[in-house]
Amino acid sequence: MSKLLPVIVILALLATILNYLPLKRELAYRLGISGDTTLSCCDENKLSQNGEFDETSSVAIFNNEVIDYPKTSLASTVRLASANALKDVLGTTNAAGEEKWIDISLDEQKLRAMEGNRVVMEFPISSGKWAPTPKGDFSILGTYYNLPNVPNNMFFYKGYAVHGAYWHNNFGQPMSHGCVNAPLAQVAQLFEWAGPVLPEKTNALRASADNPGTRVYVH
């Protein structure tokens, strides 16, 4: 029996480790047996059409766990630039006519807002962990304030968006189902900087030929 004791201890430790929920979830996703079919943040056909904050929402769930979240409107974080400052500048160019574009490096887990070759904003992000973030050259399709109560959404491909995340603070590491999570303060600034430009008192907008979306390069 004493000879078997080390084996029993090792097996018990392995069983404990394999039943540890975060590790169990990680293994399930890596082995493709999680049963989770989520491939993006949302169904692009069910996007919020008005960007209104749902003040009646009472629960938020992340990775099957109930989490705390802002219970009142985050609208005060959205309007960082005045309407007059945005009026004469499309979301795709700056006042000097240089292209405004967003560079997202999945290897570095960083987002850079560019004007020509100049970096005007840079901050860590969390891209897809449970499902991959699509790579390619895209444009912002539309901007939505809330889906639901997720701030500053900038959709660039189907249901994939750059948006604020209040449910974790692990930026710099993959954490999402494919969307690009960003810190709340920084993504609010990016939302104001990027196109399409939202008219005053508007929280949701589809990009158009007259009000195009900023280019987003994911690599």
pLDDT tens track for 87-130: 345 668 888 889 999 999 999 999 999 999 999 999 999 998 87
CB-based contacts of 168, cutoff 8 Å, min separation 6: 62, 126, 175, 181
| Domain match, 178 and 118 both | yes
Q: Looking at residues 54-79, what average pLDDT do you find?
A: 54
Query: Are 29 and 49 within one domain?
Result: no
Work out how many domains the chain is built from and give that number.
Answer: 2
Q: Are 178 and 193 in contact (CB under 8 A)?
A: no
Is 128 found in the same domain as 163?
Answer: yes
Shared domain for 123 and 158, answered yes or no, is yes
Instruction: Report helix angle 21-30 to 5-18, nearest 10.
Output: 80
- Same-domain check for residues 101 and 208: yes
Nearest-CA neighbor of 142 among 134, 152, 150? 152
31 and 102 fall within a common domain? no
Same domain? For 82 and 27 the reply is no
Helix (H) or strand (E) holding 153: strand 153-157
Q: Number of helices and strands (H, E) in the chain?
A: 4, 12
- Pair 8, 60 in one domain: no
User: In the structure, what pLDDT confidence band is assigned to residue 75 with cuts at 50, 70 and 90?
Assistant: very low
CATH number, domain with residue 80:
2.40.440.10
- Output the pTM of the full model: 0.72
Q: What is the span of the domain harbouring residue 169? A: 44-218
Per-residue model confidence (pLDDT) at position 162:
94
% the chain with pLDDT above 70: 56
More confident site: 219 or 160: 219
- Coil, strand or helix at 93: strand
- Give the pLDDT band (50/70/90) at residue 6: low
**Predicted pLDDT at 140:** 93
**Does residue 192 share a domain with residue 164?**
yes
Rg (CA), the chain: 20
Predicted confidence at residue 88, as pLDDT, reads 42
* Mean pLDDT computed over 80-91: 46
What SS3 state is found at 94? Answer: coil
